[in-house]
Structure 1
Amino acid sequence: MKKRLFFVTLTALLTTLVLAACGNAEGSGSNDGNKGSSENASTEIKVDGSSTVFPIIEAVAEEYQKANPDAKVNIGVSGTGGGFEKFIAGETHVSNASRPIEQEEKKLLKENGIDYTEFEIALDGLSIVVNKQNDWVDQLTVEQLKKMWSENGGVETWSDLNKAWPDQKITFFSPGADSGTFDYFSEVVLADAQFRKDATLSEDDNVLVQGVTGSKHGIGYFGYAYYAENKDNLKAVPIVNGEGKPIMPSKETIQSGEYNPFSRPLFIYVKNDALNNETVYDFMKYTFENAGKMAEAVGYVAKPESAYEDALNKIKDLAGK
């Protein structure tokens, strides 16, 4: 998986080029052709969106293409917001998201005549990480995180947060503004406060991993899978939950909800018309048959098996099977 995650940026670039060459996604919005007008269209699945969800869908796609060598699954990593923009424009069949779709996005889809269905594909625990050499931070509260990440929070050094900690400037690493993880973190932690301007932002979570790894006084956050893959080089910070207990992110605490407020569902959004395309339908069927196993394989937490069975029944109904 390290190699997989390391090349997220390269994959996104190549995918963008492919999508630009191919035009709109068949079976989407005004470009609705159900079965498609060419062999290429009928065997191509176009996906974009969240870098957090990317490892799950990429793992599914790798196995699917082994079993179906004529199928092409093109996966972009534009971030949740960027993925929804392409979804709304009719360029993709599936949109990956690390937050629920917003009202404005729903409105635009409706205006474009695009019907869609939301599915939860796995569970994640947004992980707050520091450098492995950081031996002073043993836990953080949401209020401390707000002070740290707010533009006017008054925190520049570790000692600004706790006088017993080093008087050393903190380096901040965050997902970019198009990321659903950025949106989720901002909503849960900052509320109405302004996000600090000096943070290094990137849509590529591997850049954030490398940033914190290379900075003794760094701090960052991203999906649990990226922490789990790099836990030898990073230190996750226990977060004080609603019951006042400092909790580490783990599969157990994420699934139980004990790791709150940072346990969250991950989503995929599917265009209903796209399921008239037999290859898109077959890929989505394969996805929900294997999503739990693949989510666990890449470091996330599977939902109960009944949730995947419900999703399978839903796509069958949408496709008229």
Structure 2
Amino acid sequence: MKFPRLSKKLAAIMACATVMVGTATANVDPNLPEYRETRGISGNLSSIGSDTLNNLMTLWAEEFQGFYPNVNVQIQGAGTGTAPPALTEGTANFGPMSRGIRDTEQAAFEQRHGYAPTLVPVAIDMIAVFVNKDNPIEGLSIPQVDAIFSSTGRCGLDQDITRWGQVGLSGAWANRDITLYSRNAVSGTYGYFRQHALCDGDFRDSINEQPGSASVVQGVTESINGIGYSGIGYRTSGVRVVPLAREHGGSFAEATAENAASGDYPLARYLYVAVNKHPNRGLAPLEREFLKMVLSKPGQEVVDRDGFVPLPESVAKRIREDIGL
């Protein structure tokens, strides 16, 4: 079972749900079911994968342990690229991923197990482009973002952008060189940004690769000339989120739940938890109950608190049915 990145159909469902449930800061669908604990749940769960989802998985683990104090959850968040091998080798129950699975990763899993892994959408994220809090930039188009970060310029702008004056800043900002901060290649966010913000181009050699999203944000916080990207859940008071336009010359859209739902914000995506589920069998009780909680009202309230966009019940219900919860 595969789920696409945020599609027009899902965007329409999300938009309707957002209207029903209210504002971006309180948009947990009241129609999501409450979670009811079941008897006999204990043991160990392990999660290896996305740095973007690391804090969210930790918060979900705490919520789950509130229902089941005898469950121990171990979480590692080195990057999405570590999730498929961990699932394939059986060293983790869950593989959080901030992108879809690659053909080579799926092939390795299928060779070992005879069927594909299951990717469960658990939240919607927006990739934010961050600048220092004192940077007055009004917004950027995706072609401008590409011209800043890439060496290939595949999104259509016919110039490299290396100084802030080239994107409209004046005065003391005009001749300031842009300092680039990026995730590293093991990161699903790196791969997603490369595909959707660089039009499958190549990053500049001058980027400062960071081991985690928090490090990207910290770098931009400490550099007046800095720009970087990560999941929006890593936003802090030291940075600003830059509004983005899909086309050069288009209207800028802020990174809000409404704009993710409508499709106006160009860098919205699913976040997934991958799991080893045999196509003809149900999940093991521990894994089943954890995912059931994640896709319930308390689980999606955790999503909202952590700065991501919760799934509406119309979407969560379909996912629960698809995986037999």
* TM bucket normalised to smaller: 0.7 to 0.9
Aligned amino acid, residue 135 of structure 2? N
Partner residue of 1:128?
129
Partner residue of 2:260?
254
Aligned amino acid, residue 112 of structure 1? R
Partner residue of 1:270?
275
Superposition map of 1:7-26 within 5 A:
none
Superposition map of 1:6-155 within 5 A:
43-113=43-113, 115-135=116-136, 137-151=137-151, 154-155=160-161
Distance 1:115 1:193 in 2: 29
Matched position secondary structure for 1:128: strand
**Alignment partner of 1:241 is 2:246:** yes
**Alignment partner of 1:286 is 2:293:** yes
Distance 2:312 2:91 in 1: 31
Deviation at 1:279, TM superposition (A): 2.0
Matched position secondary structure for 1:134: coil
From the superposition, tell whether residues 275 and 214 of structure 1 become closer, same or farther in structure 2 (CA, over 3 Å): farther
Distance 1:197 1:70 in 2: 48
- Whether the 8 Å CA contact 2:87–2:275 is kept in 1: the answer is no
Please say which of residues 55-64 and 282-291 is displaced more in the overlay.
282-291
Deviation at 1:276, TM superposition (A): 4.7
Matched position secondary structure for 1:247: coil
* Cα deviation 1:128-166 (Å, max 9, x = unaligned): 11001112x111111111111113563332234557452
Distance 1:279 1:77 in 2: 20
Partner residue of 2:196?
188
Deviation at 1:263, TM superposition (A): 1.2
From the superposition, tell whether residues 156 and 116 of structure 1 become closer, same or farther in structure 2 (CA, over 3 Å): same
The gaps in structure 1 that reach 5 residues or longer are: 1-41
Aligned amino acid, residue 92 of structure 1? A
**Which of structures 1 and 2 has the larger relative contact order (alpha carbons within 8 angstroms, sep 6+)?**
2
1:172 alignment partner, one of 180, 190, 193: 180
Partner residue of 1:8?
none
Please say which of residues 174-183 and 302-311 is displaced more in the overlay.
302-311
Partner residue of 1:301?
309
Please say which of residues 286-295 and 181-190 is displaced more in the overlay.
286-295
Please say which of residues 123-132 and 113-122 is displaced more in the overlay.
113-122
Partner residue of 2:14?
none
Matched position secondary structure for 2:304: helix
Aligned amino acid, residue 165 of structure 2? S
Partner residue of 1:12?
none
Distance 1:191 1:160 in 2: 21
Partner residue of 1:215?
223
Distance 2:294 2:169 in 1: 50
The gaps in structure 2 that reach 5 residues or longer are: 1-41, 154-159
* Cα deviation 1:209-243 (Å, max 9, x = unaligned): 1111111000011111112xx1x321111111359
TM-score w.r.t. length of structure 1: 0.78
Deviation at 1:304, TM superposition (A): 1.2
From the superposition, tell whether residues 152 and 307 of structure 1 become closer, same or farther in structure 2 (CA, over 3 Å): closer
From the superposition, tell whether residues 268 and 245 of structure 1 become closer, same or farther in structure 2 (CA, over 3 Å): same
Higher percent of residues as helix:
1
Partner residue of 1:5?
none
* Cα deviation 1:11-36 (Å, max 9, x = unaligned): xxxxxxxxxxxxxxxxxxxxxxxxxx
- Whether the 8 Å CA contact 2:53–2:77 is kept in 1: the answer is no
Aligned amino acid, residue 289 of structure 2? D
Distance 1:219 1:70 in 2: 44
TM-score w.r.t. length of structure 2: 0.77
From the superposition, tell whether residues 66 and 159 of structure 1 become closer, same or farther in structure 2 (CA, over 3 Å): same
Give the fraction of aligned pairs with identical amino acids, expressed as a percent. Answer: 28
Distance 2:291 2:182 in 1: 31
- Whether the 8 Å CA contact 1:44–1:280 is kept in 2: the answer is no
Distance 1:263 1:276 in 2: 29
Distance 2:169 2:44 in 1: 57
From the superposition, tell whether residues 54 and 163 of structure 1 become closer, same or farther in structure 2 (CA, over 3 Å): closer
Superposition CA RMSD, Å: 2.2
Distance 2:256 2:168 in 1: 26
Partner residue of 2:11?
none
